[in-house]
């Protein structure tokens, strides 16, 4: 594992998501667009503040070490909470 550095957050997310995928290799069957989802998860989690991902990618990002220093992640059933979060950002 690599430590989190604020000046290289994408490296941190990339390395740790790759490690998770290797650990899950026997329990998870990759889908056709997982490569694109992987890239989206890395860039969005590393540089975003509020992001949306599929359920599986949200779970993976949230179990990364130092996930509190990454983007706040939502998925489909949490859209109302996402809207509330965005509204609170506007009012502050």
pLDDT value of position 11: 96
What 3-state DSSP class applies to 70? coil
What pTM value is reported for the model?
A: 0.86
Distance of CA 15 to the CA centre of its chain: 13
**Dist. CA 30–CA 54, nearest whole Å:** 14
Which residue is listed with tokens 């509020």?
50
Which residue is listed with tokens 């130092």?
66
Residues of the chain scoring pLDDT < 70 = 92
pLDDT value of position 29: 80
60-72 pLDDT per residue, tens: 999 999 989 999 9
pLDDT value of position 79: 94
pLDDT value of position 92: 61
């Amino acid at each position: 594992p690599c430590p989190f550095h604020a000046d290289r957050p994408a490296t941190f997310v990339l390395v740790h998501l790759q490690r998770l995928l290797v650990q899950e290799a026997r329990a998870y069957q990759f889908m056709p667009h997982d490569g694109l989802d992987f890239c989206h998860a890395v860039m969005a989690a590393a540089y975003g503040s509020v992001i949306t991902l599929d359920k599986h990618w949200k779970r993976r990002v949230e179990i990364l070490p130092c996930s509190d220093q990454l983007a706040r992640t939502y998925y489909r059933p949490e859209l109302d909470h996402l809207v509330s979060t965005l509204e609170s950002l506007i009012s502050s």
